[in-house]
Amino acid sequence: MKKQSCKPLALMVRAPLAIIIVAALAGCFGGVKKPQPAELDPVTPLVSARQSWNARIGAVNFPLDVTVSGNTVSVASDDGSVALLDAQSGRDLWRVELKTPVAAGVGSDGKVLAVVTKSNDVVALQSGRELWRQKLNAQAFTAPFVAGERVFVLAADRSVTAFDGQTGRKLWSQQRPNEPLVLRQSGVMLAVGDMLVVGLSGRLAGLDPSSGALLWEVPIASPRGINDIERLVDLVGPASRVGASVCVRAYQASIGCVNTARGNLLWTKPANGVQGIDGDDRLLFGTEADGTVVAWKRSDGERAWSSERLRYRGLTAPLVAGRSVALGDNTGFIHLLSRDDGALLNRLSTDGAAIAATPVLAGNTLIAVTRSGGIYGFKPE
């Protein structure tokens, strides 16, 4: 009998067979013993940091992007609380209660904040008030991208739509071929100069932000397998950008780098991870599905080092912070590993709930949000 292939339940299907497919996936785990998380090594801090502030938001169980712009940080919660905080003190600059559940967020340019609700509305806010809301044709799991006085939304039907940031007027919509399944987690959307770069299924695409016209499209991974689940291919955020080089992960398939100025693929390498990547001009960092932390050379994708000290600890995507790579886990710790060799530099604690999103850096403050709604700022000593 052919061994059944199983994928994590971070899937959403746009078809009447959704319940049947999800039930089949759940059956994959029956009778299978869950791997035990790696025991944490004692830590002798080689990088000193202290908690400088903490704040609260509601519970977070959707794909949250914590967005930093200048000296501000934007967060949101399941129940529709959206807040703009001072990144140095954790103080609320303003907070709005939308009174409707949030499905994706937060995108911000420091002035306009945008989220997507579970009722498929994209909502824009500024200075503590709602500017506008517009209905989408499909659910979105990627935070809106706010730039150039526009709000861009990547939806689950692989459409990209641009709205005027102040009025909500639809400027354009680009629809690409789509597949039956899409991941219920953040995808890829960023600016490179005067270009919008978006992940569409297993492809990275460059769009003209003024018109939505397709400038180029590069495959990072191609569908394989004999059914929709095995053939699922999606690019997952965050991505790593250095100049015109943008490097991304294709879910459980590969990582790869693209020269966005020329629209050509530089390289791809097999990689079995489910979270996005970060990096610098020398190395890329990410985690495999089992929690192995890996560094690849940005120039060609060859492995530079790997560490198994955090296996099966439910890691977030990494963040490059100074000499460290910061990763959150599902017990509320933030682990600081050396960029050079993966050695443990420090471990920071929060409230014991899983870290809900990739940690972010605002100036010299490292910020993390937990599933229970704790927001923590750490500063070097």
Q: What is the mean pLDDT of the chain?
A: 91
pTM of the model: 0.91
User: Which has the higher per-residue pLDDT, 57 or 21?
Assistant: 57
CB 204 within 8 A of CB 218: yes
Torsion angle defined by CA atoms of residues 156, 162, 163 and 164, in that order, rounded to the nearest 10 degrees: 160
User: Which has the higher per-residue pLDDT, 235 or 17?
Assistant: 235
Whether the pLDDT of residue 186 is over 60: the answer is yes
State the pLDDT at residue 261: 97
DSSP E strands: which ranges in 109-166?
A: 112-117, 121-126, 129-135, 145-147, 150-154, 159-164
User: Which has the higher per-residue pLDDT, 6 or 147?
Assistant: 147
State the pLDDT at residue 32: 66
Mean pLDDT in residue range 40-69: 95
Whether the pLDDT of residue 338 is over 90: the answer is yes
Q: List Cβ neighbours of 323 (8 Å cut-off, separation of 6 or more).
A: 47, 338, 339, 340, 345
Band of residue 269 on the pLDDT scale cut at 50, 70, 90:
very high
What's the pLDDT tens digit per position in 297-310?
A: 999 999 999 999 99
What's the pLDDT tens digit per position in 78-133?
A: 999 999 999 999 999 999 999 999 999 999 999 999 999 999 999 999 999 999 99
Mean pLDDT in residue range 231-237: 89
Exposure string for 263-281, b = 16+ CB within 10 A, e = fewer: beebbbeebebbbbbbbee
CB 149 within 8 A of CB 165: yes
Burial class (CB in 10 A: 0-12, 13-18, 19+), 20: exposed
> What Rg, from alpha-carbon coordinates, does the chain have?
20
Whether the pLDDT of residue 355 is over 90: the answer is yes
Query: What distance in Å separates the CA atoms of residue 185 and residue 11, rounded to the nearest whole number?
Result: 8
Band of residue 29 on the pLDDT scale cut at 50, 70, 90:
very low
Of all residues in the chain, what percent carry a pLDDT higher than 90? 83
State the pLDDT at residue 5: 43
CB 213 within 8 A of CB 260: no
Between 24-33, 159-168, 226-235, 367-376, the lowest mean confidence (pLDDT) is in 24-33
Band of residue 232 on the pLDDT scale cut at 50, 70, 90:
confident
Band of residue 7 on the pLDDT scale cut at 50, 70, 90:
very low
Query: What distance in Å separates the CA atoms of residue 87 and residue 94, rounded to the nearest whole number?
Result: 13
What are 272's two structure tokens? 């079995």
Mean pLDDT in residue range 1-25: 40
Alpha carbons within 13 A on the beta-carbon side of 150: 21
What's the longest Cα–Cα distance across the chain?
A: 60
Query: What distance in Å separates the CA atoms of residue 136 and residue 119, rounded to the nearest whole number?
Result: 9
Whether the pLDDT of residue 287 is over 90: the answer is yes
User: Which has the higher per-residue pLDDT, 296 or 17?
Assistant: 296
Q: Phi first, then psi: what are they for 23, rounded to 5°?
A: -65, -40
Stated length of the chain: 381
Mean pLDDT in residue range 243-252: 97
Q: Is 155 in a helix, a strand, or coil? A: coil
